[in-house]
Amino acid sequence: METKFVSESKVVRTSRVFPNDVNNHNTLFGGKLMSDVDMIASISATRHSRKECVTASTDSVDFLSPITPEDSVNFISFVTYTGTSSMEIFVKIIAENLLTGKRKIAATAFLTFVALDQNGKPTKIPQVIPQTDEELKLYETGKERAVKRKEHRARSKELAAFITTSKPWNES
């Protein structure tokens, strides 16, 4: 069975917050942050699997502290847990006040990606090996999150089978 260290999937990106990135509260748009999270997570997934990957789900994005134009935003992503063809990616978002140097965890996110073969079908990926305390903690709690994801996906499919695809303007 092929294995890779968590560190082999690590991606780090830092950016500034500009006026067009903020909302009416003068804090970073949540949607902008989520787009950046998905982008960096996709690099970690592809780096780990060395296959084309697709986002299967954004499992959680927790906004913990506002990000302002005085901050830089540091995204760190890596694979934390693996299945047969799917992998969980963790992204931590650190805001750093550029004038004071004070750093804080501004958000965290978990996403699931699936690796695809040349025919667009799920394909096997290497298993992940954690090394640091942070990586070990995320790996050890990964199985529980994977079970919850499967349960949530089953409920989502049940709901999707129930809801309609009729055109809203034709409903009475």
Q: How many domains does the chain have?
A: 1
Quote the domain boundaries for residue 88: 3-161
Q: How many residues does the chain have?
A: 172
Per the domain annotation, does 108 fall within a domain? yes
> What distance lies between CA 145 and its chain's CA centroid?
13
Reported pTM: 0.91
> Got the DSSP string for 70-127?
TEEEEEEEEEEEE-SSEEEEEEEEEEEETTT--EEEEEEEEEEEEEE-TTS-B---PE
Q: What is the mean pLDDT of the chain?
A: 96
pLDDT tens digits, one per residue of 77-111: 999 999 999 999 999 999 999 999 999 999 999 99
Per the domain annotation, does 63 fall within a domain? yes
Residue 106 maps to which CATH number?
3.10.129.10
